[in-house]
Chain A
Amino acid sequence: MDLGDSAAEAAFRAELRDWIEANCPDELRGGDARDQHAFEAASRRWLGTLARAGYAGVTWPVRCGGQGLSQVYGAIVLEELARSAAPPHIGLVGLNMCGPTLIAFGTEEQQGRHLPQLLTGEEIWCQGFSEPGAGSDLAALRMRADFRGDRIVLNGQKVWSSFAHAADFCLLLARSDPESSGHRGLTMLILDMHAPGAEVRPIRQLTGEPEFNEIFLTGAELPAANVIGPVGEGWRVAMTTLLHERGTLGVALTAALEYNVARLVELACMADDDGRRAADDPLLRDRIARELIELAALRTTNLRALSNLVDSGVPGPEGSVVKLRWSEANRRVTALGQELLGVDGLLAGSDAPLGAFWQYQQLRSLGNTIEAGTSEVLRGIVAERVLGLPRSR
Chain B
Amino acid sequence: MDFRPTPEQTMLRDQVRELLTARLPHERLEAVLASPAGWDRPLWQELAGLGLIGIALPEAVGGAGLGLVEEVLVLEETGAALLPAPYLATALLAAPLLAARPELAQEAVSGARTWTLAREGDVTAEPAAGDAWRLRGTLPLIPDLGSADGVVVVGQAAGGVGIWALREGGRRAVLDTTDETRRLGVLELDGEEAIVLAAPGEAGAALAAARIRARVALAAEALGITRRALDLGVEHARTRTQFGKAIGVYQAVAHPLADTYADLELARSLVWRAAWAVDAGEPDAGLDAAMAKSFAADAAVAACERSIQVHASIGFTWEHPLQRLLKRAQGIAVLGGSGVALRAEIAAAVLDGAGTLE
Contact = CB atoms under 8 A, between A and B. Distances in A.
Contacts of A388: 234, 238
A386 interface: yes
Interface stretch (A42-50, A176-184, A300-308): A300-308
B254 interface: yes
Interface residues of A, number: 51
Contact of A321 (B262, B288, B291, B294): B262
A371 interface: no
A4 interface: yes
Nearest to A268: B351
B69 A1 contact: yes
Interface residues of B, number: 50
Interface in A1-47: 1-6, 9
Contacts of B258: 379-380, 382-383, 386-387
Given A325-B262, A383-B258, A303 B3 contact: yes
Contacts, number: 162
B242 interface: no
Contacts of A268: 351
A6 B291 CA distance: 25
B328 interface: no
A149 interface: no
Interface string A311-324: 10000011001001
A275 interface: no
B280 A289 contact: no
Contact of A265 (B248, B250, B259, B350): B350
Contact of B266 (A4, A282, A317, A321): A321
Given A279-B351, A382-B262, 19 more contacts: A3-B3, A3-B273, A3-B276, A5-B1, A9-B1, A72-B1, A289-B350, A290-B343, A292-B350, A293-B346, A300-B3, A303-B3, A303-B269, A304-B268, A307-B4, A382-B258, A383-B254, A386-B258, A390-B249
6 smallest CB-CB distances across A and B, nearest first, come from A289-B343, A300-B269, A285-B347, A297-B266, A389-B248, A321-B262
15 contacts: A2-B3, A285-B347, A289-B294, A293-B343, A293-B346, A296-B273, A297-B295, A300-B273, A301-B266, A303-B3, A303-B269, A321-B265, A324-B262, A376-B251, A382-B261
Interface of A: 1-6, 9, 72, 265, 268-269, 279, 282, 285-286, 288-290, 292-294, 296-298, 300-301, 303-304, 306-308, 310-311, 317-318, 321, 324-325, 376, 379-380, 382-384, 386-392
